[in-house]
Amino acid sequence: MNKGEAKGKVILFGEHFVVHGAPAIACGISSGVVVELKESDQNRIITKHKVIEKLSLDGIERVLAVMGIHERYDVHLTGDLRTYGGLGSSAAFCVALVKALAKEKDIHLTKAEINKYAYAGEGAFHGNPSGIDNTIATHGGVVEFRRGKTPEENQFDFLELYKPLDIVISFSGKYSQTAKMVERVKEFKSQDEEEFAQLVDEYTDIVSKGRTALEKGQIDVIGNLMNANQSLVSELGLSDEGNDKINEIALANGALGAKLTGGGGGGCCIALAKDENHAKKIEEKIKEKGFDSFATKVSN
């Protein structure tokens, strides 16, 4: 069976704002997905992970169509990336699928092509993806991404973290429906354009300071900016009880900053720790309160 792999991501700054053209910073994580293919009479998604079958099949069809492939496949999905929403699992799935199909058909793809085909698949999972998730799943590293008017006009560049960050990724236990949350922000914007523009301005200041702090290793500043970012997504109505609770536990245990990551409305949160031991302690405290959590490092 031909195989493709891709990693998940966390968004340090800018989920949702990025959909509306503001820059965002995301980084790859070590957890990822594995896709293996077996030619079949129809497309099937075979996995122990929690997935929405209809969306996965739609994603597979879109990827096959954009790659001009007419065969059908049993698509086996494994790997250690949780598919709860927030960690870019749909984008990683699409990237891994494109890579596996390229092997199957013995074609060489550039990263730009992999990214483009995966983006076509991402559209199945939520109607208006910015492209940040598939970009990071394709390239890894730490990326500042800005959406263009068309996917061809998307811009991104890699930034160098001064030092790796110790973060704690936690799961609210509630599956986050990115499409629903993206729609919520669209409604917010249409109801109060002025207020939305004000929030985007505030956010843009956060991401620009955030980039500098990441490059200079100003860990306290990064934490404060994550908290400020969290306040803005809360104002947009994206942070639910589970997200708030996890952030509260992390901050009460000395996290330098805590925010939801990804679509919100459940899904995942990230907390910034002072070092590896501190990250482990925060992880344990969050687990004690019944949430799944793990400490990890993000690096260049």
- What DSSP element (H or E) covers 274? none
Is the separation of the CB atoms in 45 and 35 below 8 Å?
Answer: no
Residue 270 pairs in a beta bridge with: 169, 259
Q: Does 121 bind ligand MEV (CB under 6 A)?
A: no
Q: Does 16 bind ligand MEV (CB under 6 A)?
A: yes
Q: Does 92 bind ligand MEV (CB under 6 A)?
A: no
Three-class secondary structure of residue 223 per DSSP? helix
Q: How far apart are CA 206 and CA 16, in angstroms?
A: 14
Identify the residue whose tokens are 């708030």: 244
Is the separation of the CB atoms in 259 and 232 below 8 Å?
Answer: no
Q: Which stretch binds ligand MEV (CB under 6 A): 96-104, 130-138, 210-218, 280-288?
A: 130-138
Q: Does 262 bind ligand MEV (CB under 6 A)?
A: yes
Considering the complex, state which of residue 22 and residue 114 has its C-beta at the smaller distance from ligand MEV: 22
Q: Rounded to the nearest 10 degrees, how much is the dihedral formed by the CA atoms of 243, 124, 154, 29?
A: 50
Near ligand MEV by CB under 6 A: residue from 59, 79, 129, 223: 129
Considering the complex, state which of residue 135 and residue 247 has its C-beta at the smaller distance from ligand MEV: 135
Strands 44-47 vs 72-79: parallel, antiparallel or unpaired: parallel
Could you tell me the sign of the dihedral formed by the alpha carbons of 157, 162, 164, 170, in that order?
A: negative
- Near ligand MEV in 39-68, by CB under 6 A: none
Q: How far apart are CA 13 and CA 239, in angstroms?
A: 15
Q: Which stretch binds ligand MEV (CB under 6 A): 12-20, 97-105, 153-161, 191-199?
A: 12-20
Considering the complex, state which of residue 57 and residue 179 has its C-beta at the smaller distance from ligand MEV: 179
Q: Which stretch binds ligand MEV (CB under 6 A): 51-59, 124-132, 149-157, 203-211?
A: 124-132
Q: Does 95 bind ligand MEV (CB under 6 A)?
A: no
Smallest gap from Cβ 10 to ligand MEV, in A, equals: 9
Is the separation of the CB atoms in 179 and 126 below 8 Å?
Answer: yes
Q: How far apart are CA 175 and CA 160, in angstroms?
A: 32
Considering the complex, state which of residue 102 and residue 263 has its C-beta at the smaller distance from ligand MEV: 263
Three-class secondary structure of residue 10 per DSSP? strand
Q: How far apart are CA 37 and CA 60, in angstroms?
A: 11
Near ligand MEV by CB under 6 A: residue from 8, 13, 15, 273: 15
Considering the complex, state which of residue 19 and residue 271 has its C-beta at the smaller distance from ligand MEV: 19
Q: Does 133 bind ligand MEV (CB under 6 A)?
A: yes
Considering the complex, state which of residue 127 and residue 254 has its C-beta at the smaller distance from ligand MEV: 127
User: Which residues sit at the interface with ligand MEV, rule CB under 6 A?
Assistant: 11, 15-16, 18-19, 88, 129-130, 132-133, 178, 182, 262-263
